[in-house]
Structure 1
Amino acid sequence: MTTAASVRRDEPDLSVVVTQLMKGVVYRDVHESQWGQLLQLQPQVRDYVGVIGLTVVVDEAEGYAFLRSRPDLGDDDGPGIPRLIPRRALSFHVSLVLALLRKKLIEFDATGGDAKLVLSRDHIVEIVRVFMPAGSNEARLVDQIDSTIGKVVDLGFLRRIKGADLHFEVRRILKAFVDGQWLAEFDQRLAEYAAELLGDEPEEV
């Protein structure tokens, strides 16, 4: 026998969806229930979070959703709605790792392989090492890269694989933060990164 209470439990719940979004990124493969409810309640969610100066970004193809400040709310809007999600100033090394991971994701997608890109910690160390000054103390270098990897995990762009702590999944939400315009200048940015790490001034052409 179906009761009214059981029917209500099966209905999408706006408060559940918004609460999960407020906590962080909602992933289709991690938050299956909330993801399904979000897809049903997108208009209501947009209206709800819009009142507090936020907008919801949903990528159904890649399977993630997150909140960001409305683009029409600048930092100098006076006494209007305050920015609930502040902009983060990323360190140089975090920016470098994000750039390299994004390039790896592009290469991975071009091969048409599995849906998830998994990299070992040693592989990440090796691709970052190329941009480190020659003669760097090896132990200190690896510690620094490990620390940076931890920060990228905290930001949500890498996820530790359960049962394999030294392997990480590159989360596809990275594509939403490293956009096409940024990628068009990728080689130039890497050259600038290398020059800064080596303490050299970029050459004028």
Structure 2
Amino acid sequence: MEEAQPTPSTAAPQADLSVLAIALLKGVLYRDADEHLWSALLDLQARIRDYVAVLGLELILDEAEGYAFLKSRSSAEESAASALPRLIARRPLSFPVSLLLALLRKKLAEFDAGGGDTRLVLSRDEIVELVRVFLPDSSNEARLIDQIETHINKIVDLGFLRRLKTAGGPASFEVRRILKAFVDAQWLADFDARLAAYQAQLGGGEPAAGASHPNRPGGAA
């Protein structure tokens, strides 16, 4: 007896499921980056949720904003007996990076409240001005800007800023809307308390240790 072969109609969804799982394990899936894959995700999201649940992950999907990613289920959702090793890394952030994330999140909220365009684009100089007033005074302006650019590059690596191509002009960045999913009201409230303590001791000592970043949207570790 010959073994039954999958029909094209069943083989295609299975192939899409595999491609989707691999793409999500690598990082964030954006609608504007791959509309075909995004459409497949909307069709197969129930199966994707079941598949990644076995790995201790959950699918976060925002159709309105056009992004999807995987995050580790909280320990409260898993019994001690069934807890799995964490696939999505939690990385501690330095205080300046945490500060810049909070400022960008607030800037995004202000931008949304104003209506209009859906893409928040900031120049490098605008981002520098956002954060510099919160950092200790420095007699070396160039060194301070270099430090802030290092923090900006870190946030680009984390996936919350996207560097835009410019034709010889100053660098500019799009604030990715996925930032709203990671920096929520509770995160901001906790950070505001830390910021107040930091400003109180700005003249001396080291700033408080960096916040632990939720789950980086850059993929599984």
Q: Same fold (TM over 0.5)?
A: yes
CA distance in 2, matches of 1:88, 1:76: 24
1:123, CA displacement in angstroms? 0.5
Q: Which moved more, 1:69-78 or 1:122-131?
A: 69-78
**Mind listing any 5+ residue stretches in structure 1 that lack a counterpart?**
none
Question: What residue number does 1:174 align with?
Answer: 179
1:155, CA displacement in angstroms? 0.1
Question: What residue number does 1:33 align with?
Answer: 36
> Equivalences for 1:60-75 in 2 at 5 Å?
60-72=63-75
CA distance in 2, matches of 1:155, 1:18: 20
Tell whether the 8 Å contact from 1:12 to 1:40 is kept in structure 2 after alignment.
no
| One-letter code aligned to 1:89 | P
CA distance in 2, matches of 1:117, 1:51: 36
| One-letter code aligned to 1:70 | R
Tell whether the 8 Å contact from 2:75 to 2:83 is kept in structure 1 after alignment.
no
Write the deviation string for residues 88-145 of structure 1: whole angstroms up to 9, x where unpaired. 1111111011011001001100100200000000000011110111244211100100
Q: Describe the shift of the 1:136–1:33 C-alpha distance in structure 2 as closer, same or farther (beyond 3 A).
A: farther
Count, aligned residues: 199
Write the deviation string for residues 20-65 of structure 1: whole angstroms up to 9, x where unpaired. 1011001111121211111111100000011111111001111111
Q: Does 2:73 match 1:97?
A: no
Q: Describe the shift of the 1:73–1:23 C-alpha distance in structure 2 as closer, same or farther (beyond 3 A).
A: farther
**Mind listing any 5+ residue stretches in structure 2 that lack a counterpart?**
1-6, 207-221
Work out the percentage of aligned pairs sharing the same amino acid.
Answer: 63
CA distance in 2, matches of 1:150, 1:166: 12
**Cα root mean square deviation, aligned:** 2.9
1:198, CA displacement in angstroms? 3.8
CA distance in 1, matches of 2:60, 2:149: 30
> Equivalences for 1:154-165 in 2 at 5 Å?
154-163=157-166
CA distance in 2, matches of 1:98, 1:176: 12
What is the TM-score of this pair, normalised by structure 1? 0.85
Question: What residue number does 1:84 align with?
Answer: 87
Q: Which moved more, 1:75-84 or 1:122-131?
A: 75-84
